[in-house]
Amino acid sequence: MGKSLTRKLIESHLVAGKAQAGDEIGITIDQVLLTDTNGTMSWLQFEAMGFPRAVPGRIVSYADHNVYQVDSRNSDDHRYMQAVSRKYGAVFSKPGNGICHQVHMESFSVPGQTLLGSDSHTPLCGAAGMLAIGAGGLDVAAALGGAPYFFQMPQVVRVNLTGALRAWVTAKDVILALLRRLTVRGGTGKIFEYGGPGLATLVAAQRMTIANMGAELGLTTSVFPSDDVTRSFLTRLGRGEDWRPAAPDDDATYDDQIDLDLSALTPLVALPGSPDRVVPVEEVAGTAVEQVLVGSCTNGSWHDMASVTDVIRGRHVHPSVSFVLFPGSHKILETMAREGPLTDLITAGATVSESSCGACAGIGHVPAAGAKSLRAFNRNFSGRSGVKDDQVYLCSSVVAAASALTGVITDPRSLGAQPEAALPPRFASSTVGFVAPDGGGEIVRGPNIKPVPLGEPVAESLEAPVLLKLGDKVSTDDISPAGSAVLVFRSNVPAIAEFCFKYVDPEFPARAKAAGRGIIVGGETYGQGSSREAAAHGPMFLGVAPVIAKSFARIHRTNLINWGVVPLLFEDPSAWAGIERDDRLRLPGLRAQLAGGERITIVNTRTGAGFTATCVLTPREREILLAGGILAHTRAGRA
Ligand code: MIC
Ligand code: SF4
């Protein structure tokens, strides 16, 4: 029986478990990427775990989110990351050098290898035939120390592409079409492997957009074969020698298949609130927007920048619109300067930012209250742009460019024939943005860098109030917001805990502290979105013991376990309706029940009603959780 490429990638790195869907497996990690948000904490955790050295062959620390260094605390984090990288053998990518995923694909991707990243969009490198997975900081810290990465073997789904994209339809519309069809839950427990006759029509940048934004489907990752398109991409970057083929067997079998006819797609837009609220552009055309942004790790490629330039060259940005582009990497910005787009964009009235996550993480370009913002980005969870009740629409770069000219959401097909966005013969191959490690130097910790706290062992029994009752699709942006005011505290657990649920319920931290212990109740896909650990250690620090939900997003569930917070599932989801905020829930014999099995009995002391929750754990997860998380477990092991 032939093998999928995903199976080949997993089997060639498998060190624990059997690669059958649903089982826990452990794989070795060839490459690690860390960011200046989750990654700073990962390095602190790596140090706290006492590993003598960092093991993976390629480690890169990126200063990519807090690039504007709006506060000396950002610069403290960057200085620490640079020093710790130097000491432990990691390349440091300086602020302005670009967004981790784009830069990693350009400079370090190697088909056939595994990559673990402290960021949920790490799957972008799946566009180059890598197995690239996003994880929480503690898993990344352990991988730095040489530990395998453990996860549940997903189902492997073949996405069979046929046809070719028509004019003005882009890779972004491919992923938006999948989100429309499958929703943000549709990829849970799955890896999408792209193939079929339509594959060869997609250039590397288009594959990157699709692999990257598969994170919004909840996928474990996405995988593209490494073929002539990949070779041409690496060759243009002067890295032809790193190319190698990676493909499934001709008779490969899959757990499922999805058919997607590229020629049937049209331009799409996601409405504010969730990336899966997708409608055809016609339905929102004419909506006035004050801000149009193009960039992020989903739409920051040369291809995006060039196709925007082709639309606005010789024209002018509408007077009521602020139009900002964020090139994904320094190489792209340098190529834009050399090949002409930079001049064309500036002349047309666009603003070109430093290469940074920038506004995507709510840093800078925060919309005015009530203003509508149209973004060729990947996430529009409420509040993420930095203002409560924001109105953020997601679209492709060409929809964004057309709308920047008119001031209203515009169907680009109204512009006539689409110019062909040509690839430059070579991309700038300067490496000045990287600092190579030499093992030396002092590690300086600024005043904002605080020691990493430990979680507490799971209590024998518990009775605590419901601090917050939430509905479906709670994102990590709801739990621990992005934005410059919050992100300065990513290496300071006590300080960042104060921002928990800032836009949802500003009283939450005070209520949690007053209660001492508390419970959060959520609906479906609790903790979707980013891999940020602050969404787990923030509530943990405030005394949240279990979180009870109808379902959890993959990375967040693991983050909770890694910090000793019990993730409980309603066995019967209808029990959710019988709980109100401030109810006191009793969990008698919690620890013994967790240690002995999967079912936990819970009593609501207000109604007297009992219900059952489940917590299905692997033996490894059970040990970690009962000990109070990975750090507490490591420390106990050492003692
Ligand atoms: C995001 O896009 O939400 C982030 C900011 O990149 C996060 C990482 C973080 O919060 O540290 C992610 O996607 O994991
Ligand atoms: Fe940065 Fe946005 Fe990508 Fe997150 S989603 S890594 S904030 S560009």
- Would you say the pTM of this structure is higher than 0.95? yes
Q: Is 28 left (phi over 0), alpha (psi -120 to 50) or beta?
A: beta
Instruction: Give the mean pLDDT of 244-252.
Output: 98
Quick one: pLDDT at residue 639?
A: 57
Quick one: pLDDT at residue 555?
A: 96
Residues 481-520: tens digit of each pLDDT: 999 889 999 999 999 999 999 999 999 999 999 999 999 9
Instruction: Give the mean pLDDT of 269-283.
Output: 98
Quick one: pLDDT at residue 121?
A: 98
Residue in the block written with tokens 């497996």? 25
Check pLDDT > 90 for residue 195.
Answer: yes
Q: Is 151 left (phi over 0), alpha (psi -120 to 50) or beta?
A: beta
Distance 297 CA to ligand 2 centre (A): 6
Close Cβ partners of 488 (under 8 Å, ≥ 6 residues apart): 66, 70, 71, 73, 74, 448
Tokens of 117: 């990243």
Ligand 2 touching residue 360 (CB < 6 A):
yes
Nearest residue CA, atom 2 of ligand 2? 360
Check pLDDT > 70 for residue 608.
Answer: yes
Quick one: pLDDT at residue 232?
A: 96
Q: Classify residue 436 as exposed, middle or buried by CB count within 10 Å of its CB (0-12, 13-18, 19+).
A: exposed
Q: Say what percent of the chain tops pLDDT 70.
A: 100
Residue in the block written with tokens 């598969």? 214
The rounded distance, in Å, linking the Cα atoms of 546 and 483 is: 27
Cβ atoms of residues 548 and 575 within 8 Å: no
Ligand 1 pocket by Cβ (under 6 Å): 35, 37-38, 65, 119-121, 361, 482, 529-532
Quick one: pLDDT at residue 248?
A: 98
Residue in the block written with tokens 């453990």? 150
Nearest residue CA, atom 13 of ligand 1? 530
Instruction: Give the mean pLDDT of 453-458.
Output: 91
Local confidence band at 441 (pLDDT 50, 70, 90 cut-offs): confident
Q: What count of Cα atoms within 13 Å lies in the side-chain half-sphere of residue 599?
A: 6
Q: Which atom of ligand 2 is nearest to the CA of 65?
A: 1
> What is the pLDDT of the chain when averaged over all its residues?
96
Rg (CA), the chain: 23
Residues 371-426: tens digit of each pLDDT: 999 999 999 999 999 998 999 999 999 999 999 999 999 999 999 999 887 788 78
Local confidence band at 61 (pLDDT 50, 70, 90 cut-offs): very high
Q: Tell which one of 124, 125, 296 to mutate to probe ligand 2, the residue whose CB is within 8 A of the most ligand atoms.
A: 296
Residues 411-434: tens digit of each pLDDT: 999 999 998 877 887 887 778 999
Tell me the ligand closest to 120's alpha carbon.
1
Three-state DSSP state, 457: coil
Distance 212 CA to ligand 2 centre (A): 10
Tell me the ligand closest to 63's alpha carbon.
2
- Relative to beta strand 24-27, strand 149-152 is antiparallel
Quick one: pLDDT at residue 638?
A: 64
- Relative to beta strand 599-604, strand 610-614 is antiparallel
Tokens of 173: 């519309």
Residue in the block written with tokens 């074969």? 225
Distance 49 CA to ligand 1 centre (A): 23
Q: List the one residue out of 333, 199, 345 whose CA is nearest residue 262.
A: 199
The rounded distance, in Å, linking the Cα atoms of 20 and 34 is: 29
Nearest residue CA, atom 4 of ligand 1? 530
The rounded distance, in Å, linking the Cα atoms of 265 and 251 is: 28
Nearest residue CA, atom 1 of ligand 2? 357
Quick one: pLDDT at residue 390?
A: 95
The rounded distance, in Å, linking the Cα atoms of 189 and 152 is: 8
Residue 250: CB atoms within 10 A of its CB come to 6
Distance 187 CA to ligand 2 centre (A): 19
Instruction: Give the mean pLDDT of 200-212.
Output: 98
Instruction: Give the mean pLDDT of 296-309.
Output: 97
Check pLDDT > 70 for residue 252.
Answer: yes
Cβ atoms of residues 566 and 595 within 8 Å: no
Local confidence band at 597 (pLDDT 50, 70, 90 cut-offs): confident
Q: Tell which one of 120, 213, 492, 558 to mutate to probe ligand 1, the residue whose CB is within 8 A of the most ligand atoms.
A: 120
Q: Which atom of ligand 2 is nearest to the CA of 119?
A: 6
Distance 513 CA to ligand 1 centre (A): 26
| C-alpha distances out from residue 558 to 10, 221, 304, 522, Å | 20, 16, 34, 16
Check pLDDT > 60 for residue 331.
Answer: yes
Between helix 619-627 and helix 554-562 the angle, nearest 10°, is 50
Quick one: pLDDT at residue 160?
A: 98
The rounded distance, in Å, linking the Cα atoms of 87 and 89 is: 6
Q: List the one residue out of 157, 146, 168 whose CA is nearest residue 192.
A: 157
Q: Which helix (H) or strand (E) holds 346?
A: helix 341-348
Instruction: Give the mean pLDDT of 353-364.
Output: 96
Instruction: Give the mean pLDDT of 577-596.
Output: 96
Distance 299 CA to ligand 1 centre (A): 16
Residues 88-145: tens digit of each pLDDT: 999 999 999 999 999 999 999 999 999 999 999 999 999 999 999 999 999 999 999 9
Q: Tell which one of 35, 65, 105 to mutate to probe ligand 2, the residue whose CB is within 8 A of the most ligand atoms.
A: 65
The rounded distance, in Å, linking the Cα atoms of 135 and 115 is: 10
